[in-house]
Amino acid sequence: MAANGEEVKLLGVAASTFVCRVQLGLNLKGVEYKFVEQDLENKSEELLKYNPIHKKVPVLVHNERPISESLVILEYIDDTWKVNPFLPAEPYQRAMARFWAKFIDDKVLLASWTSVFSNDEKEREKNIRESDEALKFLEDELKGKFFGGEEIGFVDIAAVYIAFWVPLIQDIGGLQLLTNEKFPKLYNWSQEFLNHPIVKETMPPRDPLFAFFKARYDNLIASE
């Protein structure tokens, strides 16, 4: 129960970059919420009730009204709690923020993930190229300290995967997807982002996640 009598719940799991987006969104706004950890192998009644369509996390439940899809949730958070806006006020800048967040979903996530988590060598190589190409566009797009300028905005939150998960999985796969040599501006952004006090307190601890994904990777490689 938040201070103003509103009930805000987040159904999630610790390893998910999509759930992390919502945690960042709520924490950057200073919204109090209850995190309800889910077991995706054994889906709860609550998850099936609140997200009967996709049966996935994250689900934000605000005063019993559920919302799913991480970018839709972020827009809702920005529309509902007006402090520290994520999206610029100017329509063209808003459109650009939405464009780049969608670009990350469509062009970065699967490509970088499959650069590591595939047991087909050709598939991995193709995805490394696609990840490189996508990150290069973001490198060129980055003009200030953050994508949002001086403050963390919508694209930065959407890009948490690039700051935290990409370095994690590149270490697992022994790759260089995001390095200072390849993408200096984006690498510098990732450091600034992860060192932001609210981001720092929001991110899950690295070691258990590393172990979790490393075990998946080892299983996959063993199945080759």
Residues that bind its own copies (CB under 8 A): 53, 62, 65, 67-69, 72-73, 75-76, 79-80, 91-92, 94-96, 98-99, 102-103, 137
Q: How far is the CB of 166 from its own copies (least distance, A)?
A: 19
Could you tell me the CA-to-CA distances from 171 to 37, 71, 87, 97, 221 in Å, in that order?
Answer: 27, 27, 32, 29, 15
- C-alpha 179/C-alpha 184 separation (Å) is 7
Residue type for position 58: P
Only one residue has tokens 């403050």, namely: 151
Strand positions, DSSP E, 74-162? none
Helix (H, G, I), strand (E, B) or coil at 149: strand
Nearer to its own copies, 62 or 196 (CB): 62
Nearer to its own copies, 30 or 52 (CB): 52
Q: How far is the CB of 9 from its own copies (least distance, A)?
A: 15
CA dihedral for 6, 11, 15, 17, sign (positive or negative): negative
Nearer to its own copies, 30 or 208 (CB): 30
For residue 201, with 0-12 CB atoms within 10 Å meaning exposed, 13-18 middle and 19 or more buried, which class applies?
exposed
Q: How far is the CB of 83 from its own copies (least distance, A)?
A: 14
Q: How far is the CB of 95 from its own copies (least distance, A)?
A: 4
Q: How far is the CB of 99 from its own copies (least distance, A)?
A: 5
Query: Quick check: 206 and 175 in contact, CB under 8 A?
Result: no
Nearer to its own copies, 102 or 200 (CB): 102
Q: How far is the CB of 215 from its own copies (least distance, A)?
A: 29
Nearer to its own copies, 61 or 116 (CB): 61
Here the tokens at position 52 are 């009967």
Nearer to its own copies, 43 or 94 (CB): 94
Work out the angle between the directed axes of helices 17-29 and 70-80 (0-180°, nearest 10): 10
The DSSP symbol for 57 reads S
